[in-house]
Amino acid sequence: MVFLQIKNLKIHYHTKRGINKAVDGVSFELEKGKSIGIVGESGCGKSTFVKGLIRVMSQNATITEGEVLFEEKDLVQLPEKEMRDIRWKELAIIPQAAMDSLNPVYPVLDSFIEILVLKGGMKKKQAVQRAEELFKMVGLDTKRLSYYPHEFSGGMKQRAVIALALALNPKLVIADEPVTALDVIVQSQVLKELRRLKEELGLTLILITHDISVVAQTCESIVVMYAGKIVEKGLANEVLKRPNHPYTMGLANAFPNLQEPNKPLISIEGSPPDLVDPPKGCLFSERCPFRMERCTTEEPLLTEIKPGHFAACHREAEIDDLRERSMEVATWQKVVS
């Protein structure tokens, strides 16, 4: 049985300007105990995807197509009551904004008690014990359970939110940019903590980030998203060593690489397209240093180029050469006119 299987998921926002296809045909699989990183720039649809997965979406969002098979149950079709029963218990989210799970007007302990008593059916005393255990697990002093969220530093708050997500031993943990709001040193501490928990508890993890180097350190597999679509996916080691899509190459250039710390960082000029009125052809073509005529008219399909490694680029045949060129600063200059 495949633990989690996402099939052609589409999530659209209805806006005044028209339909925003924020998630447009996403498919991947995840085995139990494994972790997958979803990477892409701001606005690529990462949060929309995870919110769709747990079905906590904005009013104007609709899942228009696709399946989310979680232990063979399709979460897209599940009645809301059943979905409510499995949130926190079977799948838990570490949200992008910590305040989404810590109630600012109560001490942090109250947020834990709420989940443990209401969702987990524990007695209050038992819940306090579990909260203490969870705080210790993420390296927080149990005294701080009586503090208010605003009395926590950013790093502590993030650890508390991770502890809260783990409260009921969920089978799947989804972390949406768990460290983005933190400074670099605290980022690396919190990530280390997350990696340790993943090993010790055998967590199945979906990690959302815009920083491809975080995926390299944390996940077995990677999905690269651009403008609501997957442009590349496969084993993280393989994809990061030999990226087969220019967007992945660009992301790899834009973040520090542990193996080559002195390599200059190169950013991708421009920004993702307007998803209400996307360009024709390859959605990345406007910013791609390797675009050809065909890229602006015909959309490349996600194709298996090696077992388990998929990419969507018309220039697949020349990809080794393009990868070499992608490492030069000059390649990425003045691409966007």
Name 310's bridge partners.
233, 304
Q: Among 113, 109, 181, 120, which residue's Cα sits nearest to residue 146?
A: 109
For residue 209, state whether it binds ligand ATP (rule: CB under 6 A).
no
For residue 22, state whether it binds ligand ATP (rule: CB under 6 A).
yes
Q: What are phi and psi of 74, to 5 degrees?
A: -85, 110
Work out what residue 13 binds among ligand ATP, Mg ion, none; the CB cut-off runs from 5 to 8 Å by kind.
Answer: ligand ATP
> Which residues neighbour 158 within 8 Å (Cβ) at sequence distance 6 or greater?
98, 178, 179, 181, 182, 186, 190
Work out what residue 66 binds among Mg ion, ligand ATP, none; the CB cut-off runs from 5 to 8 Å by kind.
Answer: none
Least distance in angstroms from the C-beta of 42 to ligand ATP: 3
For residue 129, state whether it binds ligand ATP (rule: CB under 6 A).
no
> Which residues neighbour 72 within 8 Å (Cβ) at sequence distance 6 or greater?
1, 2
Work out what residue 210 binds among Mg ion, ligand ATP, none; the CB cut-off runs from 5 to 8 Å by kind.
Answer: ligand ATP
Helical spans, DSSP H, in 202-265: 212-218, 236-241, 246-254
Task: For residues 101 and 97, give the distance between their C-alpha atoms in angstroms, rounded to a whole number.
Answer: 8
Q: Among 96, 98, 97, which residue's Cα sits nearest to residue 159?
A: 98
Q: What are phi and psi of 321, to 5 degrees?
A: -65, -45
* Strand ranges (E), 147-217: 172-176, 204-209
Least distance in angstroms from the C-beta of 218 to ligand ATP: 17
From candidates 2, 18, 42, 306, binder to ligand ATP by CB under 6 A: 42
Least distance in angstroms from the C-beta of 203 to Mg ion: 21
From candidates 47, 111, 209, 248, binder to Mg ion by CB under 5 A: 47
Task: For residues 85 and 254, give the distance between their C-alpha atoms in angstroms, rounded to a whole number.
Answer: 41
From candidates 35, 47, 244, 248, binder to ligand ATP by CB under 6 A: 47
Work out what residue 245 binds among ligand ATP, Mg ion, none; the CB cut-off runs from 5 to 8 Å by kind.
Answer: none
Number of chain residues interacting with ligand ATP (CB under 6 A): 17
- Residue located via tokens 């996307």: 278
Task: For residues 30 and 61, give the distance between their C-alpha atoms in angstroms, rounded to a whole number.
Answer: 25
Work out what residue 44 binds among ligand ATP, Mg ion, none; the CB cut-off runs from 5 to 8 Å by kind.
Answer: ligand ATP
Least distance in angstroms from the C-beta of 51 to ligand ATP: 8
Task: For residues 53 and 30, give the distance between their C-alpha atoms in angstroms, rounded to a whole number.
Answer: 13
| Structural contact between residues 54 and 174, judged by C-beta atoms closer than 8 angstroms | yes
For residue 245, state whether it binds ligand ATP (rule: CB under 6 A).
no
For residue 15, state whether it binds ligand ATP (rule: CB under 6 A).
yes
Would you say 99 or 292 has its CB closer to ligand ATP?
A: 99
| Structural contact between residues 279 and 273, judged by C-beta atoms closer than 8 angstroms | yes
Least distance in angstroms from the C-beta of 214 to Mg ion: 14
Would you say 219 or 305 has its CB closer to ligand ATP?
A: 219
Task: For residues 41 and 264, give the distance between their C-alpha atoms in angstroms, rounded to a whole number.
Answer: 19
- For the record, the structure tokens of 117 come out as 């008593």
Work out what residue 43 binds among ligand ATP, Mg ion, none; the CB cut-off runs from 5 to 8 Å by kind.
Answer: ligand ATP
Work out what residue 204 binds among ligand ATP, Mg ion, none; the CB cut-off runs from 5 to 8 Å by kind.
Answer: none
For residue 271, state whether it binds ligand ATP (rule: CB under 6 A).
no
Work out what residue 126 binds among Mg ion, ligand ATP, none; the CB cut-off runs from 5 to 8 Å by kind.
Answer: none
Residues that bind ligand ATP (CB under 6 A): 13, 15, 20, 22, 40, 42-48, 58, 60, 96, 210, 275
Residues that bind Mg ion (CB under 5 A): 46-47
